[in-house]
Amino acid sequence: MTDAGLHEKRYEPDAPAPLKDIRVLDLSRLVAGNVVTHVLADFGADVIKVENPKGGDDLRNWRVEDIATHWKVYARNKRSLALDYRDAEGLALLLRLAAIADVLVENFIPGKLERMGLGPDVLFAANPHLIVVRISGWGQTGPFAGKPGFGSLVEAMSGFATMNGFPDRPPVLPPLALADMITGLYGATAIMIALRHVEVAGGAGQVIDLSLFESMLSVLGPQAANYALTGTVPTRHGSRSGTTAPRNVYCCADGKYVALSASMQVMAVPRDGSARPDHRPAFCDQHRPRRQ
């Protein structure tokens, strides 16, 4: 029992999940769309993963020791369906599925859904309450809409890569599909907001224009505002922080590394009474470390 009088709930694999009545039709490939739907599936949504009959989702080809680890992580709790969009019968079946779904997720090149004959107008005619999530690199409209939009390009264009690394070395891209993962989390949140609008407010279905670029740009926080105020492009400073110190990765005597962030007094002074005399709050107040 916690201090608030609440009891810890034991894990029950057969217990009903909060999204058990939500059906999601996932037409996406690779990471961003799969992150969106795996978050929903983890909370009980019935995710129907629609795949190309010839090879399935490209994520199946990302292998380690011949095991598709990415697929195993992001396809968990989903059902798979092989369907050929180019076949008239397959397209008709897809529309029938959309008619009984709550959410449809796709990451085609902007405009392809319309060329398939399944634009939002057609989907809403079949299901007025459908939430349509359209994932792309740069958005469904605008000057970059038709350009290739992979995560690496977005991580560079957003300014994220420019912020990473050291000043005497090139910008650094993240070693994982960061833009896609962030976009997926934003997408799952947007879906829950849209579903609430439908279920609680009695609203109609809607289109969620989910771009990797906007998602990536949003997590950079005040960087654009800082530039607007100062006109200065910040330099890269490795693992250090531009707002607090000390904050860095330090090499220890045994050759291993320790990550240290002492941006607040409570972080600088241990709370278990193990601090040495020179770690007393008074000492920290009098001898604040200089900004690195």
Contact 142, 127 (CB under 8 A): no
Beta-carbon-side half-sphere exposure of residue 222 (alpha carbons within 13 Å): 5
Spatial distance between the Cα atoms of 34 and 49, rounded to a whole number of angstroms: 9
Angle at 133 between CA 132 and CA 137, to 5 degrees: 145
Tell me the one-letter amino acid at 49. K
Q: In terms of residues, how long is the chain?
A: 292
Structure tokens at 130: 């459908």
Q: Among all chains, which residue has been given the structure tokens 């085609």?
A: 108
Tell me the one-letter amino acid at 176. L
Structure tokens at 114: 């319309």
Structure tokens at 226: 């800082």
Query: CB under 8 Å to 165, separation ≥6 — which residues?
Result: 171, 172, 236, 238
Read off φ and ψ for residue 213, nearest 5 degrees.
-65, -50
Structure tokens at 267: 């972080």
Catalytic residue among 46, 57, 180, 209: 180
Contact 161, 173 (CB under 8 A): yes
180: annotated active-site residue: yes
In this structure, the strands spanning 103-106 and 23-26 are parallel
Identify which of 197, 212, 220, 36 has the alpha carbon closest to the alpha carbon of residue 140: 212
Active site residues: 180
